[in-house]
Chains A and B, each alone.
Chain A
Amino acid sequence: RKEVEQDPGPFNVPEGATVAFNCTYSNSASQSFFWYRQDCRKEPKLLMSVYSSGNEDGRFTAQLNRASQYISLLIRDSKLSDSATYLCVVRAGGFKTIFGAGTRLFVKA
């Protein structure tokens, strides 16, 4: 089983749509969870940390289910500028922070 596994993409959605990304992780001792976005040929940029109680930042909502080892990201009211690759990132304890392969999102006008 992969350490961090994400939905295969790409997702093609119209502007204004709601889209959800899922991620599972294999190490039950994992302690920290993040969503990053990556634009083509650019560095990953932090979108949001994911907290146990779930958290929201504007149009973005992240959820964590430790029992199922599952993380999700919901984007509401998609914008053209949301088009990017979304990376699920897990720190398993210690210093090793592992990236999922990413899910590509295309938002169309």
Chain B
Amino acid sequence: EPEVTQTPSHQVTQMGQEVILRCVPISNHLYFYWYRQILGQKVEFLVSFYNNEISEKSEIFDDQFSVERPDGSNFTLKIRSTKLEDSAMYFCASSEGGRRPNSPLHFGNGTRLTVT
């Protein structure tokens, strides 16, 4: 079964550093997402991406965050200057869209980001 893959599985960085989290969505999916989950808290929507542009973003997704689809397969989340409170599990997800606009999200295994 095709799956969403994320790298790295764990990233440790110092406060103020830039990080890039990488994701390879399922190949025929058209919609891509980033979510985060702070330890012990709920899964929070960050951003959705469709047709090479951001389609929606939450209030969490401020100017420190950006997303990109640099080629036909990768989907990245960049945090420009990390803060301690950015420490969380970051999940990438994709969904089919197209003829199945209400299709569910499929999640990657996540990247655990630790900011020290």
Contacts and interface: CB of A to CB of B under 8 A. Distances in A.
- Interface of B, secondary structure class, is strand
A98 B109 contact: no
B43 interface: yes
A87 to B, nearest CB: 7
Interface in A61-109: 87, 89, 91, 94-102
Contact of A34 (B31, B42, B44, B104): B104
Contacts of B107: 43-45
Contacts of B41: 101
Interface residues of A, number: 23
B32 to A, nearest CB: 9
Contacts of A1: none
A49 interface: yes
A97 B33 contact: yes
Given A43-B110, A44-B43, A102-B42, A97 B89 contact: no
Contacts of B56: 94-96
Contacts of A87: 43
B104 A98 contact: no
Nearest to B91: A43
A43 B105 CA distance: 11
A97 B42 CA distance: 13
Contacts of A89: 104-105
A54 to B, nearest CB: 16
Interface in B90-113: 91, 102, 104-110
Interface of B: 31, 33, 35, 41-45, 48, 50, 55-56, 58, 89, 91, 102, 104-110
Interface of A: 31-32, 34, 38, 41-46, 49, 87, 89, 91, 94-102
